[in-house]
């Protein structure tokens, strides 16, 4: 099991929504180990995957593709060449910016005037069964907020402040995959959930076990936008 396995349904939806073009030069924000970057590169002219995690970038591979590269970088500050990308994409990689306006402003500057932004973000935690069940098992947790871009009016204000326009939201209702059986699901969540929650989570996973594995409900947004007519001031 890995993160790409968990999000297999979401990956399919996102790729359809992106609408890749053969001439696109793609920036993949928060690319992790690069699954979305590689998928984009198979259609686009080129794809650059960036992530702030050196460990994730260290595990990213090109799969023999000559038009895909990876870089460990902070999207809020990285000096991307101005107006050098046709498309910025992200699969759950934009929710953790300390200063989202600064980050999206930097992305806006990296896009050509005719460019576009397509990202997938989680809806509110209480609309995501996986989040509800884990919180029920272990209580509230600190750390980065995976749901910081759940509210459409807030996201619209952020993107508009960063120089984007025509912001749209499309709901995604696809389950997340936690493994072929209950023990596999427990092994997977041990990456971020303590073993003390195993009894409660085992019960939850048994309820959600199907013939093809353990699936928990989720809700996300596909957010699309494009650069506005004026570049924001630095």
Distance, first Cα to last Cα, the chain: 42
Which among 39, 142, 40, 151 is positioned nearest to 86, based on CA atoms? 40
User: What six digits make up the tokens of 174?
Assistant: 């696809």
| 150/122 Cα distance (integer angstroms) | 6
Residue 131 lies in a domain: no
- The model scores a pTM over 0.75: yes
Residues 64, 38: contact at Cβ < 8 Å? no
Residue 10 lies in a domain: yes
Residue 213 lies in a domain: no
User: What six digits make up the tokens of 143?
Assistant: 């750390």
Query: Which contiguous run of DSSP H or E holds residue 18?
Result: helix 8-18
Residue 135 lies in a domain: no
CATH number at residue 165: 3.40.50.150
Length of the chain: 234
Secondary structure percentages of the chain, helix, strand, coil, to 5: 35, 25, 40
pLDDT of the residue at 139: 74
**Confidence band for 83, pLDDT divided at 50, 70 and 90:** very high
Residue 151 lies in a domain: yes
The number of helices, as runs of H, and strands, as runs of E, in the chain is 9, 10
How many domains does the chain divide into? Answer: 1
pLDDT of the residue at 141: 60
CA-CA-CA-CA dihedral for 139, 179, 147, 173, to nearest 10: -130
- Residue 138 burial (CB count, 10 A): 16
Q: Could you tell me the residue range of the domain that residue 78 belongs to?
A: 3-124+144-175+218-227
List pLDDT tens digits, range 4-18.
999 999 999 999 999
SS3 141: coil
Residue 70 lies in a domain: yes
**Confidence band for 134, pLDDT divided at 50, 70 and 90:** confident
pLDDT of the residue at 222: 98
- Residue 45 burial (CB count, 10 A): 14
pLDDT of the residue at 233: 60
**Confidence band for 124, pLDDT divided at 50, 70 and 90:** very high
SS3 29: strand
Residue 208 lies in a domain: no
Q: Which residue has the higher pLDDT, 129 or 194?
A: 129
Residue 201 lies in a domain: no
pLDDT of the residue at 58: 96
């Amino acid at each position: 099991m890995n993160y790409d396995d968990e999000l297999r349904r979401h990956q399919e939806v996102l790729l359809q929504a992106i609408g890749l073009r053969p001439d696109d030069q793609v920036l993949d924000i928060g690319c992790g180990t690069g699954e979305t970057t590689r998928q984009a590169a198979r259609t686009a002219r080129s794809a650059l995957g960036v992530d702030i995690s050196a460990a994730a970038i260290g595990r990213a591979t090109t799969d023999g593709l000559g038009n895909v590269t990876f870089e460990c970088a902070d999207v809020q500050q990285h000096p991307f060449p101005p107006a050098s990308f046709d498309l910025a994409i992200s699969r759950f990689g934009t929710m953790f910016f300390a200063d989202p306006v600064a980050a999206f402003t930097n992305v806006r500057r990296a896009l050509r005037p005719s460019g576009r932004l397509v990202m997938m973000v989680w809806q509110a935690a209480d609309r995501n069964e996986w989040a509800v069940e884990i919180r029920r098992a272990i209580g509230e947790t600190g750390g980065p907020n995976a749901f910081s871009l759940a509210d459409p009016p807030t996201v619209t204000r952020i993107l508009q402040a960063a120089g984007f326009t025509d912001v749209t939201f499309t709901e995604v209702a696809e389950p997340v995959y936690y493994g072929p059986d209950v023990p596999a699901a427990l092994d997977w969540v041990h990456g971020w959930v303590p073993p003390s929650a195993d009894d409660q989570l085992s019960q939850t996973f048994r309820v959600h076990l199907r013939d093809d594995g353990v699936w928990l409900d989720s809700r996300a947004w596909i957010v699309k936008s494009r650069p506005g007519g004026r570049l924001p001031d630095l």
